[in-house]
Structure 1
């Protein structure tokens, strides 16, 4: 995951994440993502798995935030999927985060970000010409990737722990959200990387 470095300054900004599920947890806790943050003077102090979007409600989030702040987090990201919500605004209203926290909504699920990482998808499917035009228009991006695997390689991910297997495999292939953010039609991951960049700018010499 050769993420682009935004800033290089001496002091580190400490951040924490509240994530919807295991896929997000594996991605955010990956060595590659931590190294990317470190190169941008950001330290990941803790990640809390809410274990389902239904648990991302104000009375739960308050406790998660307390844990992250005790861990030293100066900035908190909340990462969840849009899923079947009508729009990002509705999802944010349901979460009701504090103004200082950064809510990131993957449209429609985080696997759309994987579809947007064209070079890694090419490696996964063994087709260097592959590109997916509209990742965020897929209702179930994980199923789309599974179907693509079956079509291109004759073998899918499988249902048992399939999402965990997928993100683990893609990380080994070099999953890079900077590349996902360069996709013309995946604005939610671009927004995420922009927010990381903004946090990086708060680092002081």
Structure 2
């Protein structure tokens, strides 16, 4: 089994890569996800962690010490104009570090899982929100999820973002389904497959 570690921007990314469904996907590919996703401290998360070369190096070293052969750095594109700019901000030249940029926010990947959203919001939600068929063109995916929730659940919003993410994971979110509509999710899966051989 190839051992991988993760350095992530936020709590939602952490929930996804530490979920049972993601770990099962990795096991099928011959990949073991190392316990301990960095930064462990909630206050240290955010894009700034990737801009701090010293801190990023220490997280990378810790993961290597725990047995990681490859390390995935995951961050959102947000307002940057291109993926290359976002990758450049990740201050690490280690060849075992794989940079994953989510277009635009991690919530884009939730929007990409149409099977999940049809179950969660009702099969007609696409008629109300046809733009979701191309989730990476949506500027503020987290706001779009709130809008869909308000329109399809009798005015009931999302509330706590992390609890909502947990609910989507419990209800069957998969990166494989998301990859059908999100090139950045497909890129992530392709990178996982490339290290599993």
TM-score of the superposed pair, with normalisation by structure 1: 0.86
Partner of 1:61: 56
Unaligned ranges ≥5, structure 2:
none
In the aligned structure 1, how far is the partner of 2:116 from the partner of 2:186?
Answer: 17
In the aligned structure 1, how far is the partner of 2:124 from the partner of 2:58?
Answer: 46
Q: CA deviation at 1:128?
A: 5.6
SS for the counterpart of 1:43 is strand
Partner of 2:187: 191
Given the alignment of the two structures, is residue 71 of structure 1 paired with residue 66 of structure 2, yes or no? yes
Q: CA deviation at 1:96?
A: 2.7
In the aligned structure 2, how far is the partner of 1:190 from the partner of 1:135?
Answer: 13
Unaligned ranges ≥5, structure 1:
1-11
Q: For the Cα contact (< 8 Å) 1:119–1:128, is it kept in 2?
A: no
In the aligned structure 2, how far is the partner of 1:115 from the partner of 1:126?
Answer: 14
1:98-177 pair list within 5 angstroms: 98=93, 99-127=95-123, 130=126, 132-154=132-154, 155-158=156-159, 162-177=160-175
In the aligned structure 2, how far is the partner of 1:174 from the partner of 1:13?
Answer: 25
Q: For the Cα contact (< 8 Å) 2:125–2:148, is it kept in 1?
A: no
Q: CA deviation at 1:63?
A: 0.8
Structure of higher RCO (CA pairs closer than 8 Å, 6+ residues apart)? 1
Q: Deviations over 1:124-146 (max 9, x none)?
A: 10226636222111221011011
Q: Which runs of 4+ in 1 moved over 4 A?
A: none
RMSD: 1.4
In the aligned structure 2, how far is the partner of 1:96 from the partner of 1:169?
Answer: 33
Partner of 1:6: none
SS for the counterpart of 2:74 is strand
Residues matched between the structures, number: 185
In the aligned structure 1, how far is the partner of 2:149 from the partner of 2:15?
Answer: 21
Q: For the Cα contact (< 8 Å) 1:97–1:103, is it kept in 2?
A: no
